[in-house]
Structure formats: C-alpha cells, structure tokens
C-alpha cells in the first residue's frame, strides 16, 4: 500500500493512456484497497483498442517509455518487457525458488521463445536465481528429449502436458531421467492426479499463475495449499462484470495492479476466476493466497437474438442490496429459450421483491425474465453469473 500511490502517480505522469484514464485522481489518496477500488478497470479489450488507435512503441499509450523488447499474444495484443533494466522483469524468481530450483542447477525450459514472452520470463528468473537454462522452446520432442538425456537437467519449466509427453517418450525408449527432480509448470491446468503422476516418476511439480501482461501473479509452495500472491502485485477479487470487490472466500474475477514501473497496469482485469483463501500459508509465507484458477469471468449468452453479459447480472445485484447472489439460467430448445434469474437474498423479506427484480432484469437485458427466489446458500460459490443449459 505504501508503493501504491507512487505507482498511480507514476502511471499518470509516464503513461499517456493512464494520464487520461486517471485524470483528476489524487494519487496521494490511493493508499488502501478501498481507495484502489474507486479507480476504473483496464481490460485486454481496452489495450487492444488503444494499440489499434495508437500504433507506436508506447503500445497504445499504456507503456511508460519505450520498452526494450515487445512480445505478441493472440488478438494480436502486444506486451512489453516490463522493465528494461530489471534483472527479473517478470518477477519469476520467487516461484522458481518455491518450486525447489536453486543456483547452480540446470533447468530445461520448454515455453515458447518466439512471439510470446513465456520462455524469456522463465529464463530471466533462472538467471536472477543463478541457475542455468536450456532454451528448448516448443515442439521438436525428439531433440528436446535428447538434450535432456545428454545434459541431465535438475529442473523443468514449461507446460505440464509437454513434460508428460517428454517423460512418456523417455519411458517408451527405455531411457531414465534420474536427475530431473523439480518442475515449475504453467500455461494450463495441472490437476492433483497429474501432480501425483509426476511424483510417481520422481518429479516434484509446482504450479504458478502468470500472464504476459503482468508477469507472475501467484505461485504454489511446498504446503500445496493455494497459491501465494507475489509481492510485486496487488490482487483484488471483484464481482464478474463489475469492479466491485468481493469478501475473502467469494469467487470472482482476478484484478491485478502491478508495481512495475515499465508497464504500470492499474486494476487490470484478467478475466480469470479465483478466490482469496483465509489465513496464511502453512509454509510460513504470509502474503495473500488464491485458490487457483477457477474458470473464466467473461461469461455471456445469446438469448432470443440478444446478447446477455455477466456485467448486466452484476448491475442487478448492485441495484438491489438485498440480493446476496444471482445467476441467470438459460434453458429450453432452439427458439424457445427460457430465462430464469435465480436469486439468493441476504435475509427473507415480506413481501418478496419479485416484481421489482423482474422489472430491473427486463430493464438491463431487454428480456422477459422469470424470478426464482432461493434459500441462502443455494447457489454455488463459483463466480458464475450466467449458466447456459441449452
């Protein structure tokens, strides 16, 4: 929080886009989570639109100065290396260390080294840690496996699916990889059964949550109890479709403010769902923890020719403080859509506000919506605001 007002002021002064977005904001007053929540969200769609309108090294005006390297994500969307002078610009070193990777070891990196920054992210963290890296990149399975057999790396950094392919190929050929003991995986889900599969083959695999825009967000530790948030970012969980912070434990969209001076994203909405876990990690780290990736927040459905978005359901909840949770359920056959708004109230009221909720839902969605009042605790805590059952 001490760094937050300085970062907001820096973004206003150094990033033309944030100079406009945060015009009139007193940066010195943004010293708490409550104050941070008053600032607007920034979404990937905003970055893409700005980049299309302002084609330059400043990447739509969001970059604070000319970056040293620029990468590309699908869209296309371009991301800078966050800090030109940073030893570990994406702050990956904590995740590598938590996974048990140490100085003097060799890590086989199978993340992409072209267009996207994942390979560069890991390599920079390994260099900061004092570990060596083999830039395997993606594909060329036989060549990569041969390199692992020749070099005997102690660690792996890449997707869990490719690590599985490498281990299966090695087993099919009758080769062993006794040196490979640790792995830091990301980019896709690595469920407990797959973690156990790696452990049976002598590889202790840990997960991290990172994006091309933000770098490391959170990482798994030896406690294997949630993901510890990195110290270079501030994470909020907000109601999908809005910027309203949710209480700890509630599933919502992950919103991240990075303290990186080179790419000072403020309240960047990732589109991912997660929740804050109570208490500190049993491993001893004291920072906030996330439950992990729990799905996508950018939910929508097309009903009777009209698109309905999660933001509309979030607006309804905001207009009706008596509502605890709400979910729009779409069912039925083609051209016979049935739309029901399931609502949990904080406290039962008499008379029930069915008519008021129906009018608000029609105002927001332009659809006739039936209301179903449910007892408290009926709707699952999964962040889902729209459920399409068709």
Rounded average pLDDT over 337-346: 88
Rounded to whole angstroms, how far apart are CA atoms 253 and 239? 6
Across 194-212, average pLDDT = 95
| Predicted structure pTM score | 0.83
Q: Is the pLDDT assigned to residue 335 strictly greater than 80? A: no
Angle at 118 between CA 121 and CA 250, to 5 degrees: 95
Whether the CB-CB separation of 367 and 309 falls below 8 Å is answered with no
Q: Which of 296, 354, 288, 365 is nearest to 329 (CA)?
A: 365
Mean pLDDT of 201-210: 96
Q: pLDDT at position 111, please?
A: 94
Among 132, 191, 140, 203, which residue's Cα sits nearest to residue 167? Answer: 203
* 83 token code pair: 């800090």
Q: How far apart are CA 142 and CA 166, in angstroms?
A: 8
Each residue of 240-270: b (16+ CB within 10 Å) or e?
Answer: bbbbebbeeebbbbbbbbbbbbbbbbbbbbb
pLDDT band at 334 (very low <50, low <70, confident <90, very high): low
At residue 16 the predicted structure's pLDDT band, cuts being 50, 70 and 90, is very high
| Ranges 199-208, 218-227, 288-297, 329-338: which has the least confidence | 329-338
Q: Above 80 in pLDDT, residue 357?
A: yes
Place of tokens 């990195």: 230
Would you say residue 307 has pLDDT above 80? no
Residue 232's CB is within 10 A of a number of other CB atoms, namely 18
DSSP assignment letter at 356: H
Predicted confidence (pLDDT) per residue in 78-125, tens digit: 999 987 567 899 999 999 999 999 999 999 999 999 999 999 999 999
Residue recorded with tokens 């702050």: 91
């Amino acid at each position: 929080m001490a760094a937050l007002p300085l970062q907001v002021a820096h973004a206003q002064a150094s990033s033309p886009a944030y100079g406009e977005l945060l015009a009139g904001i007193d940066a010195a007053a943004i010293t708490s989570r409550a104050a941070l929540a008053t600032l607007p969200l920034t979404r990937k769609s905003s970055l893409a639109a700005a980049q299309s309108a302002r084609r330059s090294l400043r990447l739509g005006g969001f970059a604070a100065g000319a970056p040293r390297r620029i990468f590309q994500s699908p869209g296309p969307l371009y991301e800078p290396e966050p800090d030109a002078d940073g030893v570990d610009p994406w702050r990956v070193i904590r995740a590598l260390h938590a996974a048990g990777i140490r100085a003097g070891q060799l890590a086989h990196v199978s993340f992409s080294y072209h267009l996207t920054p994942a390979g560069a992210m890991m390599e920079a963290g390994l260099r900061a840690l004092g570990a060596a890296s083999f830039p395997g990149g993606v594909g060329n399975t036989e060549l990569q496996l041969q390199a692992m057999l020749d070099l005997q790396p102690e660690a792996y950094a890449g997707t869990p699916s490719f690590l599985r392919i490498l281990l299966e190929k090695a087993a099919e050929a009758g080769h062993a990889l006794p040196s490979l003991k640790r792995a830091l995986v990301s980019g896709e889900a690595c469920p407990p059964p797959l973690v156990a599969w790696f452990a049976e083959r002598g590889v202790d695999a840990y997960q991290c949550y990172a994006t091309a825009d933000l770098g490391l967000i959170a990482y798994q530790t030896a406690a294997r109890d949630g993901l510890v948030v990195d110290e270079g970012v501030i994470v909020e969980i907000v109601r999908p479709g809005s910027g309203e912070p949710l209480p700890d434990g509630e599933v919502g969209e992950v919103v991240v403010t990075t303290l990186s001076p080179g790419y000072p994203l403020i309240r960047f909405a990732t589109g991912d769902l997660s929740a804050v876990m109570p208490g500190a990690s049993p491993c001893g780290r004291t920072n906030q923890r996330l439950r992990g990736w729990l799905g996508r927040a950018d939910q929508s459905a097309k009903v009777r020719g009209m698109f309905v978005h999660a933001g509309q359901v979030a607006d309804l909840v905001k207009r009706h403080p008596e509502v605890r949770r709400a979910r729009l359920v779409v069912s039925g056959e083609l051209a016979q859509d049935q739309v029901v708004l399931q609502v949990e109230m904080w406290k039962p009221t008499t008379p029930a506000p069915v008519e008021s909720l129906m009018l608000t839902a029609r105002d927001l969605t332009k659809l006739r919506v039936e209301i179903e009042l449910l007892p408290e605790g009926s709707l699952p805590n999964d962040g889902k605001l729209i459920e399409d059952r068709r």
